[in-house]
């Protein structure tokens, strides 16, 4: 069985695959990670996609201790078979590349991947399955935290579902403004990409905050929160 791990800035996602099927999956907030005791299933191989180097080493060591298997790190031990048109390809985050790869394999191209997490990324894959580039803007939690830290009077706001209304108190103004503003920005970025890729370009949404944002977007966004994990499974199948 394959153990797939997606290490993000906010959450660590685990999935155990039997063939193409996920038989077990779970998330651990990065701040709450205290180690791993067991996986409950026999693991044949482990692959990690990570944007947090300090956590990569911790989790890799834990997996090797439990299973005897040294995990392979995507971007270091394994390349992603997707043509990358970034000016400096090594600067592209492995999560963005894996999202693009997974979307290009699972769905038809051209395609746009909107990932809503600590940062919001909007990336494009051409009809020929090339990573064209994209955009990065602050995520919801990052925006809320910045408003609180950068001002004297604006309060710290808990992220909850927003409403499509004018705020009538400061917390509502911040929450609704941040969420609807992010949705409007995503719409504008999708529209700009579609000038290049065509009006029939599909849009896939992933990341923990996707559902909070996509319902306010004009563009239809299909949610697939396990996109990176599915991409890891596809990569394993195609390379091993």
pLDDT at 19: 87
Helices 227-239 and 94-106 cross at an angle (nearest 10°) of 80
The tens digit of pLDDT for each residue in 187-206 reads 999 999 999 999 899 999 99
Contact between residue 63 and residue 71 where contact means Cβ atoms under 8 Å apart: yes
Contact between residue 191 and residue 97 where contact means Cβ atoms under 8 Å apart: no
Domains of the chain: 2-77 (3.30.420.40), 83-140+170-231 (3.30.420.40)
Nearest to 48 by CA among 86, 36, 177: 36
Strand ranges in the chain using DSSP code E only, listed in sequence order? 2-7, 11-18, 21-29, 45-50, 72-73, 83-84, 111-116, 119-125, 130-138, 202-206, 222-223
Concerning whether 95 is annotated as a catalytic residue, the answer is yes
The tens digit of pLDDT for each residue in 97-141 reads 999 999 999 999 999 999 999 999 999 999 999 999 999 999 999
Measured CA to CA, the distance from residue 133 to residue 205 in angstroms comes to 16
% of residues, the chain, pLDDT over 70: 100
The tens digit of pLDDT for each residue in 45-92 reads 999 999 999 999 999 999 999 999 999 999 999 999 999 999 999 999
Enumerate the β-bridge partners of residue 112.
Answer: 124, 203
Catalytic residue, chosen from 6, 27, 77, 95, is 95
As given in the structure block, the two tokens for residue 170 are: 């400061």
pLDDT at 124: 98
């Amino acid at each position: 069985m394959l153990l797939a791990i997606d290490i993000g800035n906010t959450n660590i996602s685990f999935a155990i695959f039997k063939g193409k099927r996920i038989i077990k999956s779970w998330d651990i907030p990065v701040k709450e990670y205290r180690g791993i005791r067991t996986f409950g299933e026999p693991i044949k191989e482990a692959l990690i996609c990570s944007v947090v180097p300090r956590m990569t080493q911790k989790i890799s060591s834990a997996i090797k201790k439990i299973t005897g298997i040294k995990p392979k790190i995507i971007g270091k031990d394994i390349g992603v078979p997707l043509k990358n048109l970034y000016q400096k390809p090594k600067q592209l985050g492995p999560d963005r590349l894996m999202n693009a790869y997974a979307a290009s394999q699972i769905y038809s191209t051209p395609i746009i991947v909107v990932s809503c997490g600590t940062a919001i990324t909007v990336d494009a894959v051409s009809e020929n399955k090339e990573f064209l580039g994209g955009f990065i803007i602050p995520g919801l939690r990052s925006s809320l935290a910045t408003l609180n830290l950068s001002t004297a009077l604006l309060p710290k706001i808990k992220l909850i579902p927003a409403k499509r209304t004018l705020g009538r108190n400061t917390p509502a103004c911040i929450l609704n403004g941040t969420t609807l503003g992010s949705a409007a920005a995503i719409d504008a970025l999708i529209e700009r990409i579609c000038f290049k890729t065509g009006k029939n370009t599909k849009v896939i949404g992933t990341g923990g905050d996707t559902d909070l944002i996509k319902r306010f977007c004009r563009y239809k966004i299909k949610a697939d929160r396990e996109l990176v994990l599915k991409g890891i499974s596809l990569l394993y199948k195609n390379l091993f």
